[in-house]
Amino acid sequence: MAKLKPSKSKSAKLKSKPVKVKTKIKVKKAKVVKTKSVKQIKTPKAKIQTKPKEQVAPQMESGYSAKHIQVLEGLEPVRKRPGMYIGSTDLHGLHESLREIIDNAVDEALAGFSKNVWITLNLDGSATVIDDGRGIPVDIMPQYKKSALEIVMTKLHAGGKFGGSAYKVSGGLHGVGASVVNALSENMWVEVKRDNKIYRQEYAIGKPKDSVKEVSKSYIDGLDKFIKNTGTVVTFFPDKKIFPVTDFDFEMIKKAIRERAYLVPGLYFHLYDKREGRENEVNYYFEGGITSLVAKINENKVAQHKAIYIQKEQDGVEVQAALQYNDGYAENVESYVNVINTINGGTHLTGFRMALTRSINDYGKKIGSFKEEEDSVTGDDTKEGLAAVVYVKMAQDRIQFEGQTKGKLGNSEIQPIVQTIVKEGLNTYFEENPSDARKILEKVYLAAKARLAAKAAKEAILRKGALEGSSLPGKLADCQEKDPSLCELYIVEGDSAGGSAKMGRDRKFQAILPFGGKILNTERARLDKIIEFEGLKNLIIALGMGIGESINLEKLRYHRVIIMTDADVDGEHIETLVLTFFYRHLPEIVKQGYLYIAQPPLYKIQLGKDISYAYTEDEKEKTVAAIRTGKKAGVINIQRYKGLGEMNPDQLWETTMNPENRILKQIRVVDAEAADAVFTMLMGPEVPPRKHFIQSNAKQANLDV
């Protein structure tokens, strides 16, 4: 995340307090909560997934005892370097800890022994995960003369995921998840129900308080409602010395379990928030697996054909792939390994893309659509309007992730396996469904034609020296600083506000680019149309990183790109159009945390020579009340700013551009699937979903008309 460094004068380098809070893109109108230095948008509740009739878990051999547990090393390194095990100690690391415990429960379902996972965010700040699987073994391990439960919870690399007999497929963090979470918890307790008995052990900072003991009563009221015969209960309190923030985010957890519900058909997930003022509950259950996930991704879009599903096992690796083209231009592909979302892809995704491109080209040549070699489509052509999920399941000890937090799969042998299985599946589908095959071919061929048209348009513009070189747009007031990490670009609505911003800015590190009126809706615009639009062309040139195939993030000239629009309906519309452009066509700027929204004040409150500013209605009321409580004489004048142009340069600097005082919202995509659905619904061609959204949220709108 980019840090803003405070500055005492306009001539000093950019300095300010770090922006700690992220802005999430969401469906419903955001609830804004002010903190010391920034405002945070909280994601609203999502729909609750109803659950169909119960499915019986497959019968499998249930032998699971101390002999399945192996130990590799001790626990001490975890507290010294927690980032090596959970990625970081920020909000993401906190939730990685909870996901590890959840994945241990999911592993029981993957092994065929569990049908339910319950997750509860407790009033006291702890989290509880319950599953109705086999229960962690509690018998004694002779070589350690301790219970298997204690070994699993207190030793690194101890668990049933090593050796391949207890879990053939698992999602836990290389088998170290439970012990790592224990080491990073102030307190933790585990209860296991086996043989109609309840066993418990409690821990403090990873160390047992006592030995594993049989107890007469569970800490969980009505445990029998959850676990009938066997199962495991884990409750932990994140250590405040390790995690600066220990408050779990309901929306992040909901997203994680929704993903897992798609990937493990027949498994029920139940999430409860018992914290004061935040009571909530969601339940997820899907029978359709990743095909259901593709349907969800294509929600609010027009599908071009029925979803294609491919599944096969080869060399001990199970490959599943589902894909469906829609009428849009954006690609949305998700990849998973053993229920882990590989957000950075990997060899399995590479194999899928190669198979898709080759299958389409082979079929096009076979039916005579691609007569010449130059008619062939590229991998980029196959991305347009593609919704797909690639899911690989394999033995835990075979997996090679690049990085401990599993962002990218590195197994080189997986690429040809996935490529072969997907290629065979697509070839068969195209032969058996020629109508769908031709629709896909037509979709991809149009994308190829558009690519060539965009390339021609871009080359024509390049010949004029517009997108590269030293020719910057005339409207751009650039900054003096050349280090991108210190530079920021304000994208300002209107020439009037742009003029004030140019005069009020600190020209050492702040650049200004005025935008005149509405810009092109780029949700359904191809690259050639974008480049031809004057305002967007100027923005692309100013940013310096190119667009389309020529994107190079290292050439980005500003590491803070700030959208600054009027605080009215038109301003919010323009803001949404600009966000759409960045999300669809320059997503790396969003992913790197370089995109922000400025928060201009809504009110100027003046009593005599005393002036203050309010950024929300609530803040205005509190400011006015404070003035009256102070019993100061005189009339309080309240001015509602309709636009940025109403502020003189000094006011604009002091309220909206000065790093010491300003409020910025940093744009982050927490849930890519939800973000994609939002942009499709708001900016896409389908009117009914947008109309439904407006009708459903009309009462929440705060319109100033």
Average pLDDT over residues 486-503: 92
Is the confidence at residue 30, as pLDDT, over 50? no
Distances (CA, A) of 385 to 152, 179, 440: 46, 43, 10
Asked about 195 being catalytic, the answer comes back as: no
Mean pLDDT, residues 333-344? 90
Q: What distance in Å separates the CA atoms of residue 332 and residue 297, rounded to the nearest whole number? A: 7
Per-residue pLDDT at 22 exceeds 70: no
Question: How far is the CA of 487 from the CAs of 481, 541, 585, in angstroms?
Answer: 6, 16, 22
Q: What is the pTM of this model?
A: 0.68
Please give the average per-residue pLDDT across 16-35, as a whole number: 35
Q: Using one digit for the tens of pLDDT, what is the confidence trace for 230-285? A: 999 999 999 999 999 999 999 999 999 999 999 999 999 999 999 999 999 999 99
Secondary structure (H, E, C), 40-104: EEECCCCCCCCCCCCCCCCCCCCCCCHHHCECCECCCHHHHCCHHHHCCCCHHHHHHHHHHHHHH
Mean pLDDT of 516-529: 82
- Residue-wise pLDDT for 660-697, tens only, equals 989 999 998 877 777 888 888 888 877 887 887 887 77
Question: What letter represents residue 53's amino acid?
Answer: K
Distance CA 141, CA 65 (A): 9
Mean pLDDT of 31-51: 33
Percent of the chain with pLDDT over 70: 83
In which element (H, E) is residue 237 found? strand 231-238
pLDDT-based confidence at residue 406 (cuts at 50, 70, 90): low
Cα–Cα distance for residue pair 303/305, rounded to 1 Å: 6
Active-site option among 132, 493, 523, 676: 493
Lowest mean pLDDT among 330-339, 434-443, 637-646: 637-646
Q: What is the pLDDT confidence band of residue 462, given thresholds at 50, 70 and 90? A: low
Q: Is the model's pLDDT at 465 over the cut of 50?
A: no
User: What tens digit of pLDDT does each residue of 412-435 get?
Assistant: 999 999 999 999 999 999 999 999
Q: Which of 259, 523, 566, 654 is catalytic?
A: 566
Per annotation, catalytic residue among 202, 331, 568, 619: 568
Q: How far apart, in whole angstroms, are the C-alpha atoms of residue 489 and residue 472?
A: 13
Task: Give pLDDT, residue 401.
Answer: 86
Instruction: List the single range of 86-100, 208-222, 495-509, 676-690 with lowest mean pLDDT.
Output: 676-690
Residue type, 204: A
In angstroms, the CA 455 to CA 555 distance is 20
Task: Assess whether pLDDT exceeds 80 at residue 45.
Answer: no
- For range 110-117, the mean pLDDT: 92
pLDDT of residue 14: 36
The C-alpha atoms of residue 216 and residue 178 are separated, in whole angstroms, by 25
By residue count, the chain amounts to: 705
With beta carbons less than 8 A apart as the criterion, state whether 120 and 128 touch: yes
Q: Is 570 a catalytic residue?
A: yes
Q: What integer pLDDT is reported at residue 697 of this predicted model? A: 74
For the chain, the farthest-separated pair of C-alpha atoms sits apart, in whole angstroms, at: 87
Predicted confidence at residue 189, as pLDDT, reads 97
Band of residue 450 on the pLDDT scale cut at 50, 70, 90: confident
> Would you state the pLDDT for residue 671?
74
Per the residue annotation, which of 299, 532, 570, 646 is the catalytic one? 570
621 is catalytic: no
| Residue 111 reports pLDDT greater than 90 | no
pLDDT given for residue 700 in this prediction? 67
493 is an active site residue: yes
- Compute the mean pLDDT over every residue in the chain, rounded to the nearest whole number: 83
pLDDT, tens only, 180-217: 999 999 999 999 999 889 999 999 999 999 999 999 99
pLDDT interval class at 176 (50, 70, 90): low
Confidence of residue 69 (pLDDT cuts 50, 70, 90): low
Cα 557 to the center of its chain, rounded Å: 25
Alpha-carbon dihedral of residues 684, 690, 694, 700, nearest 10 degrees?
Answer: -60
Give the pLDDT of residue 85.
Answer: 85
Q: Is 537:467 a contact under the CB 8 Å cutoff? A: yes
Q: What is the pLDDT of residue 638?
A: 92
Return the residue matching tokens 């945070």. 40
Query: Can you list the domains of the chain with their CATH numbers?
Result: 22-42+475-601+648-700 (3.40.50.670), 66-284 (3.30.565.10), 290-457 (3.30.230.10), 603-640 (no CATH)
